Chain A
Amino acid sequence: MRNITKRFPGIVANDNITLRLRRGEIHALLGENGAGKSTLMSVLFGLYKAEEGKIYKDGKEVEIKNPNDATALGIGMVHQHFKLVEVFSVLDNIILGAEETKFGFLSKKAARKRVVELSEKYGLAVDPDAKIEDITVGMQQRVEILKMLYRDNEVLIFDEPTAVLTPQEIDELMIIMKNLASEGKSILFISHKLNEIKAVSDRCSILRKGKYIGTVDTDKVTKEELSSMMVGREVKFAVDKADANPGKTVLEIRNMTVPSKIRKRDAVHDVSLEVRAGEIVCIAGIDGNGQTDFVYGLTGLAPVSGGTLLLNGKDITSASVRQRMTGGMSHIPEDRHKHGLVLDYTVEQNMVLQRYFEPEFSDHGFIRFNEVRKYSDSLINEYDVRSGRGSLTAARAMSGGNQQKAIVAREMDRKHDLLIAVQPTRGLDVGAIEAIHKRIVAQRDVGCAVLLVSLELDEVMNLSDRILVMYEGELVGELNPKTVSVEELGLYMAGAKRDNMKRGEDKT
C-alpha cells in the first residue's frame, strides 16, 4: 500500500501511509485508538475507498473496490466482531458464499474433507458440525480463520483478534498465527497490546493520529520504545498510587444470588462483599464466570433472586436503576454499544443520559440546550474526548476509544459515592489506559468507593487494593495484590484453588 490517504468529515484518518507486507511475515500494526489502523485495513479490504494512493500485490497495481475484489486477490480479514451465522454449523459458515454445488444441491462432502485437512494442517481443532452459538468465542475465531484458509487467502488481516479472548486462548492464537506464517501466509495484525506484538510479530508499523511513524523489527526494540513511538511520549506501565485508606462502608452485598437467563443454575450464587470509601476492590475472573450478571444485579439491570444490597446503608435490593443512580451509583458498563451510549444521539445528548431531567439541564420539562452544550464541551475538554465535530458528533461516528472516554467522563463527573467500572479500559490504547487508571485512583483518593470488574490481569494487579476472584458465579478467594503472584491468581481464576469465603453474616 503506497501513499494511502483517507479522509472523513472533520478528520484525516489516514495521511499518506505506506505499508509493505512481506510474504510469510507477521506484520503488526500498532497505534492508539483513532490512529487510523482499522481505516487502513478497511481500505485494503475494500470496505472504504481511499482518496489517494495505490495498492500493489506481488508488484502489480490492483484496484480493490469491495470485499469481493479483496477475496479474489487472496486477502482475507477476521473482524473484531465476527461475521458468523449463529444457528449455522461451523462447516456451513465456512463454505457460506463459496459453496460447491452439484445440480443445484450443496455438496458438502468435499468441503468437509478440506476443512478437516486445513484444521489439522494449521492446528485449528474445530468440530465442523458444532453450531456457532454453542462454541466459545475462541473457537468462533478459529472458524473465521478457517474461512480465510478455505478461500486460499494469502494475506490475512486480524483486527484486534485478542480483545475477546482469555489468556489461554490468546496463547493458542499466537501459536496458530506462527504456524500460518511458517506456511507462507502473510499476516497483518492490528493491536495495541505491546506484549502480544513483541511475542508474535516480525515487524511492526506504527501509526499516530493518522500519520505513518515508522516500521521497526520487533525484536530490536523494547516495549517502552514501541509505546513512546505510538503515543509520542513516555508511558508508564505501573500505576502510581499510595496505599489505600479505606473509610466507611459504601456498598455492602449480602448473599446476592442472580438467576441465569439461559441456564437452570444461578449465574451468581450467594455472593457477599463490601466496598469501602477510598478503596478499589476488584472482581477478577475469566470471562463468563458470572461477572456480567453480578453487575446487572448490582446495578438493577436484572432482578436478583436472593440477598440484600446496601448502598450507603440504604437497602437498594429492589430499587429502580434511577433510584440507584441518584442514590450515588455510577456505572461504566461492560458493553458500551449496548448500554453505554445511544449511538444515534450526539455526544452532548449522551453526556446527560442520566441527568437530562435534572434542574441543571431541564426547565419545566424542556431541555436547556445551552447548558447541555456547555456541560458537554467542558467534559470533552477535561477528558480529552476526540471527535470530528465535538459535542455535535454522533456517538456512532466516534472511534471506540473515544466512545469509552465519553462514558468514563460522564460516569466520573456524575455525583457518586460508588463507581462500578466494568472493563473500563477495554479496547483502549496504553495512553488512554494510563489516563483512565490515573482517574480511577484519583477517584479513590477523594473518598470514592470503586468496584472494578476486569478480565485484564495487568489491570487487576496494578489497580486494585483488594482482589476478589469470581469463579462460576461464586467468590472463591480474597487476595492481596501486593503479596499474591500472577500465577496464584491464575489458579484461583481457573478454579484450581479456592478458599472458604466467609459468608455475609451480619457483622454489626
Chain B
Amino acid sequence: MKNTKDKKLKLPKMEGFISALICIVCGILVGFVILLLLAAFTPSIPVGEALSGLGIILGGPFASGSGADVMTAIGTMFFEATPLIMTGLSVALAFKNGLFNIGAPGQYLMGTAASIITALSIPTGGSAFAGFIVWIAAILAGTVAGVIWGMIPGFFKAFLGVNEVIVCIMTNWIAANLVSWIFKGSRYLNVASGHTAYTLKTSVNGVAAPKLGLDKIFPGSNIDISIFIAIAMAVVLYIVINRTTFGYELKACGSNRDAAKYAGMNVKRNIMLSMMISGGLAAMGASFFYLNGNIEFAWETYSSLPDTGFNGIPVALLAGSDPIGVVFSSVFLRYLGKGGYNLAGYTGFNEYVSDLIVAVIIYFAGFANFIRSYFPEVGAFFRRIIAGKGKKDADTAETLTAKGGENR
C-alpha cells in the first residue's frame, strides 16, 4: 500500500520532467530550422554546416576539441552555472510565494559590489587563513546587500500594495547606477595595468574561493568550491519549501493569499521574507562568481544589467520552480552556452544562435503547460508511457478507460 502511494506522489514530478524534455527537443528542432535558414541565406556558410553546427551546439563542452580543452570547458560550464543556480533559486523561491522576482539582476549587482569591496578592503596580510575568513565575510556582505535590495520591493508589495515587478525594475536600474557611482574613480579599480574599466581581482588581497583541487581535474578553468555550495543551497531550499512549516506557509500564501490570511498566516511578513531570501540568494550567486579570485568586474553597469540575473527566470521556469530542477536547468543552459561558444569558433555562425535556441526552449516551456491543460489526451499519452503500458495502474484515468473499453 505504501509503495503505491509513493508512486502516485512521484507521477506529477515525472510529468514535469517529461514536459521539460519535450520543450528542449522542440527548441532544438526549431533551432535547427533557424540554423538551416541562416545557412541558406548566408553565402559564406555552406548549407551542410547547419547539421554540423547543430551537432556542436548539442555537444556543448564536449565539442571543444582535444581532451584537455574539453575538461577546461566542462570546468568553465560548472563555474558559470554556479551564479545561475543561485539566481534561478532566487526566482524559483519568489514564484513559490506568487511573486515575480525580476529584480534578481539588481540584487546580483548589489551583491557583486558589496562582496568585492569587502574582499578588497579588509587587509589579509598575505595569510591564507585571513584570506579564507575574508572570503566568508565577503560572501556574507554580498548576501546581506542582496537581502536589503530584495526587501525594498518586498516592502512596497506587502505594505503599500505596489506590484513587485515595477519596484524590481526600478531597483534594478538604481543598483546599476549606484554600483557605477561607487566604483568610479575608487581605489578598487585595476589602474596599475590600465584596466580601468574593471575592478581588481580579489586575489590581489589574497581572497579567493578554495579550489579543492578542482583546478587539477579541470585545468585552465575557474571552477571552485562554490558550485558545491550552490548545489547544497538548492538541497536546503528544497527541504525548506517541501518539508517545513515556513515552506507550507510560503506556498499557501503564493497559491491563495485570502485563504492564508483566513488561516491566520502573516501574509505581509511572508512576502517580505521571501523577497529578502530571494534577494540574498541572487546576491550570493554574485559573491560566488566574483570572489573566485580570477574574475574582474566590469563596473560600468549603468547602461546594462547582468544577464545572469535575468537568466534566473528561464532557469526557474524550465525547472518548474523546483530547486533541484534549477541545478539541472542551470547546468543545461550553460551546456548550450558552451555549445554556442564553440559554434562561433568552428563554423561561420555566431554564438548568439545558441541564445536563440535557449529562448525558443523557454517559449516551449510555456507552450508545454498550454498543451497539458488544453489537450489532456497529450498529457495522458505521456503519463501512460511513464506508467508503463502493460502495467495495471488503476489510479490513472487512461487505464481505467482502457479497461472499461474491454469490459463492454
Q: Which residues of A contact B8 (CB under 8 A)?
A: 389, 392
CB-nearest residue of chain B relative to A394?
B12
Supplied contacts A338-B259, A344-B255, 17 more A-B pairs, CB within 8 Å: A7-B397, A7-B400, A7-B404, A299-B262, A322-B264, A339-B258, A339-B261, A339-B262, A344-B256, A345-B255, A349-B248, A356-B249, A365-B244, A369-B243, A389-B8, A392-B5, A392-B9
Determine how close the nearest CB of chain A comes to the CB of B252; give it in whole angstroms.
Answer: 5
Going nearest first, the 10 A-B pairs with the smallest beta carbon separation are A322-B264, A339-B262, A321-B264, A344-B255, A353-B263, A9-B397, A342-B256, A354-B263, A338-B258, A357-B245
**What mask results when residues 134 to 177 of chain B are scored 1 for a CB within 8 Å of chain A, else 0?**
00000000000000000000000000000000000000000000
Q: Which residues of A contact B255 (CB under 8 A)?
A: 342-345
B401 near A: Cβ within 8 Å?
yes
Determine how close the nearest CB of chain A comes to the CB of B362; give it in whole angstroms.
Answer: 23
**What mask results when residues 349 to 375 of chain A are scored 1 for a CB within 8 Å of chain B, else 0?**
100011011000010011101000000
Q: Interface of chain B, helix or strand or loop or mixed?
A: helix
CB-nearest residue of chain A relative to B400?
A7
CB atoms of A342 and B260 under 8 A apart: yes
CB-nearest residue of chain B relative to A320?
B264
Q: Which residues of A contact B127 (CB under 8 A)?
A: none
Residues of B in contact (CB 8 Å), total 30
Give CA–CA (A325, B400) in the complex, Å. 43
Query: Contact check: which of B252, B258, B261, B400 meets A345 at CB < 8 Å?
Result: B252
**What mask results when residues 310 to 344 of chain B are scored 1 for a CB within 8 Å of chain A, else 0?**
00000000000000000000000000000000000
CB-nearest residue of chain B relative to A10?
B395
Q: Which residues of A contact B244 (CB under 8 A)?
A: 365-367
Q: Which residues of B contact A299 (CB under 8 A)?
A: 262
CB atoms of B256 and A341 under 8 A apart: yes
Q: Which residues of A contact B258 (CB under 8 A)?
A: 338-339
Give CA–CA (A342, B9) in the complex, Å. 19
A234 near B: Cβ within 8 Å?
no
Query: Contact check: which of A301, A343, A365, A389 meets B261 at CB < 8 Å?
Result: A301
Determine how close the nearest CB of chain B comes to the CB of A301; give it in whole angstroms.
Answer: 6
Some 27 contacts from A to B, beta carbons below 8 A apart, are A7-B397, A7-B400, A9-B397, A51-B401, A52-B408, A301-B262, A320-B266, A322-B266, A324-B264, A338-B256, A339-B261, A339-B262, A340-B259, A340-B262, A341-B256, A342-B251, A342-B252, A342-B259, A342-B260, A343-B256, A349-B248, A353-B259, A353-B263, A366-B244, A366-B245, A392-B8, A392-B9
Q: Which residues of B contact A369 (CB under 8 A)?
A: 243
State the B residues within 8 Å of A (CB). 5, 8-9, 243-246, 248-249, 251-252, 255-256, 258-266, 395-397, 400-401, 404-405, 408
Query: Contact check: which of A7, A320, A333, A365 meets B245 at CB < 8 Å?
Result: A365
Q: Which residues of A contact B243 (CB under 8 A)?
A: 366-367, 369
Q: Which residues of A contact B259 (CB under 8 A)?
A: 338-342, 353
CB atoms of A321 and B261 under 8 A apart: yes
Give CA–CA (A432, B305) in the complex, Å. 59
Determine how close the nearest CB of chain A comes to the CB of B165; give it in whole angstroms.
Answer: 22
Q: Which residues of B contact A338 (CB under 8 A)?
A: 256, 258-259
A103 near B: Cβ within 8 Å?
no
CB-nearest residue of chain A relative to B256?
A342
**What mask results when residues 267 to 284 of chain A are scored 1 for a CB within 8 Å of chain B, else 0?**
000000000000000000
Q: Which residues of B contact A5 (CB under 8 A)?
A: 404
Give CA–CA (A333, B262) in the complex, Å. 9
